[in-house]
Amino acid sequence: MLSAIAEGLQRVFALDRELWRIVALSLEVSLSAVLLATVLGLPLAAALAVKQFPGRRGVIVILNALMGLPPVVVGLLVYLLLSRAGPLGSLGLLFTPGAMIVAQTLLILPIIASLARQALEDAWREYEEQLRSLGAEGLQAALTLLWDARFSLVTAVLAGLGRASAEVGAVMIVGGNIDGVTRVMTTAIALETSKGDLPLALGLGFVLIAIVLALNTAAQLIKEAAQRRFG
């Protein structure tokens, strides 16, 4: 096992240019999806936390349920949307990194929105009376809440990032794992495994874990430093 890992890592680093292209595309796709899902998900979460409206509980239940959405199902839906005969086929996005970003965004939007909603709702319980007393309502209150809960929201965004960088089903279906175009870490691992090149698959897996670990460590350190500063 150990020798397989060592061989795998050796092989991975021997790939150099090809490897870094795969790593770079993985990061590009997953980080873009996280950015998009954050931009869409946080306002949704704030609205759900602050506003009372009919159907609110239904939306929350659905959002929570969608956290467990299987990546292959998301991939399939996006595939149907973007395929030549599909409603968005004219965009020509299928089998491009753009399609992969769309699929991962849809996959992690419920995760980021649900976790953020919970964090914001807890904060709102604490802040509501004070903010209303000061005259902050609606949008203003939501913005204040988002800014004040920013450290808890980091965790929601990291959960989305974890899901995006780990999933293989969605990017495989809408990206097609095309060498040099849409091949990312997870689809490369799946391919090498099915080819029987377990050491290389293992090596790629370790690189993926190392990257995710590094991103999370960085986020955690920033969060802790900021929290020490602002309480």
Partner 1 sequence: MSASILPLTLDNVAYASNGQPIIPGISLAIEAGPSTIILGANGAGKSVLMRLMHGLLAPSAGSVRWNEADPSSVRRRQAMVFQRPVMLRRSAMANVVYALELAGVPAAEREAQALTALQEVGLRHLAHRPARVLSGGEQQRLALARAWALHPEVLFLDEPTASLDPGATREIETVIKAFDAAGTKIVMATHNLGQARRLGDEVLFIHQGRLAERSPVDQFFARPASPEAAAFIKGELPWV
By CB under 8 A, name the binding residues for partner 1. 126-127, 129-136, 140, 144, 147-148, 150-151, 229-231
**Shortest spacing between CB 35 and partner 1, in angstroms:** 23
| Residue with smaller CB distance to partner 1, 56 or 132 | 132
| Residue with smaller CB distance to partner 1, 64 or 152 | 152
**Shortest spacing between CB 230 and partner 1, in angstroms:** 5
| Residue with smaller CB distance to partner 1, 144 or 155 | 144
| Residue with smaller CB distance to partner 1, 137 or 179 | 137
**Shortest spacing between CB 149 and partner 1, in angstroms:** 8
**Shortest spacing between CB 197 and partner 1, in angstroms:** 50
Full 3-state SS string of the chain: CHHHHHHHHHHHHHCCHHHHHHHHHHHHHHHHHHHHHHHHHHHHHHHHHHCCCCCHHHHHHHHHHHCCCCHHHHHHHHHHHHCCCCCCHHHCCCCCHHHHHHHHHHHHHHHHHHHHHHHHHHHHHHHHHHHHHHCCCHHHHHHHHHHHCHHHHHHHHHHHHHHHHHCCHHHHHHHCCCCCCCCCHHHHHHHHHHHCCHHHHHHHHHHHHHHHHHHHHHHHHHHHHHHHHHC
